[in-house]
Amino acid sequence: MNSRLQNWNRFTAACISLVLLILALNPFKFHWFVAVHGWSFDFWAVDFFQNVFLFFPLGVVLRHSFQFPQIVIVLYGALLSSAIEIAQLSIIERSSNFYDILANACGTLCGSLFYQYAVSEKQPGSIGISLAFMLMPLCWVTAMRSATQDISAWLVMPPAIAGIVAFEMSLSANRLKLVALTIWLIFALIPLINITPIAGIATFIIVPAIVWILPYFSISKPSFILGLLGIGIFLILTVNIIWYVNKSSVSWTVSAHLHWIETLMSGICLAAGRAWAKSSDRAENNYRAL
């Protein structure tokens, strides 16, 4: 892997870590709870699996970017989670739970194992896989924000299509390819299906259909992905600007944190997508030159 690609993979790993930190430290109400001062040992199955789910992309990207042993990846996930839980001690609306650290470490391990056994790359070290798993948390935040804005649920479509196409391009045609793509799609869209079932199910059908149809058109997939991300960030910015302009006169209850986090994440993903598209075009040109 050349140094440019390696630096971009490190950048995506750092971005996912930052996104997890921001999401965890902001007072989102994933479910109703009473904040507990100090550490707690309460176990909720739903909360545990949500935390496993949350750290899954981090495990994939760490394994992809650095090829760390499993124990190092689990340790990183546990340390990042511990830092988050300790920081939450100073936030009134958040609780710190030892089971969250265990769940986050398990999620990081699950992501790493998924990469090891279900992902076989065409181009080892390419940015495509990192980009795909950066887009997964963006799909989550957009889905969460659409809880009281049904029309906004459809804004998940551009990053979902971009993510699955980038992931598909990075995989070899092996028997686990369909399994890997299905798992990515399920993880990316579960929050949307839970919050807005019609949009979630429609997206779950439309996204694979587009992946299947694309090869029949003479179109550059990197350019297609970059165009989607550009459209996506434009729509997200438009919706969020409208919300900020009208927030004093509307009855929306979605936390304002979701809007600025979504905007920040979409901008970072667009930058990573641009770098990936350029690297893909460069690799294709070098291949043709040979």
Q: Residue 150: what pLDDT? A: 74
For residues 86 and 40, the model is more confident at: 86
Q: Residue 248: what pLDDT? A: 56
Q: What's the distance, CA 290 to chain centroid?
A: 36
Of 77-91, 181-195, 254-268, 274-288, the least confident? 274-288
Write down how long the chain is. 290
Is the pLDDT at 93 greater than 60, yes or no? Answer: no
Contact 180, 132 (CB under 8 A): no
Is the pLDDT at 4 greater than 60, yes or no? Answer: yes
Is the pLDDT at 192 greater than 70, yes or no? Answer: yes
Q: Residue 122: what pLDDT? A: 65
Is the pLDDT at 30 greater than 50, yes or no? Answer: no
Is the pLDDT at 117 greater than 80, yes or no? Answer: yes
Task: Give residue 38's region: left, alpha or beta (phi > 0; psi -120 to 50).
Answer: left
Task: Give residue 26's region: left, alpha or beta (phi > 0; psi -120 to 50).
Answer: beta
Q: Residue 39: what pLDDT? A: 60
Is the pLDDT at 18 greater than 80, yes or no? Answer: yes
Based on its alpha-carbon atoms, the radius of gyration of the chain, rounded to whole angstroms, reads: 19
Q: Residue 147: what pLDDT? A: 77
Is the pLDDT at 193 greater than 50, yes or no? Answer: yes
At 159, is the pLDDT very low, low, confident or very high (cuts 50, 70, 90)? very high
Q: Residue 139: what pLDDT? A: 92
At 35, is the pLDDT very low, low, confident or very high (cuts 50, 70, 90)? very low
Q: Residue 221: what pLDDT? A: 85
For residues 156 and 45, the model is more confident at: 156
Percent of the chain with pLDDT over 70: 79
Environment class of 112 (CB within 10 Å of its CB; exposed 0-12, middle 13-18, buried 19+) = buried
Percent of the chain with pLDDT over 90: 25
Q: Residue 289: what pLDDT? A: 39
Of 143-147, 164-168, 236-240, the least confident? 143-147
Q: Under 8 Å CB-to-CB from 247, ≥6 apart: which residues?
A: 256
At 2, is the pLDDT very low, low, confident or very high (cuts 50, 70, 90)? low
At 182, is the pLDDT very low, low, confident or very high (cuts 50, 70, 90)? very high
d(CA 234, CA 241): 11
Q: Residue 82: what pLDDT? A: 85
Q: Residue 286: what pLDDT? A: 39
For residues 283 and 268, the model is more confident at: 268
The chain-wide mean pLDDT, for the chain, equals 80
Say how many C-beta atoms besides its own lie within 10 A of residue 137's C-beta. Answer: 25
Q: Residue 205: what pLDDT? A: 93
Environment class of 67 (CB within 10 Å of its CB; exposed 0-12, middle 13-18, buried 19+) = middle
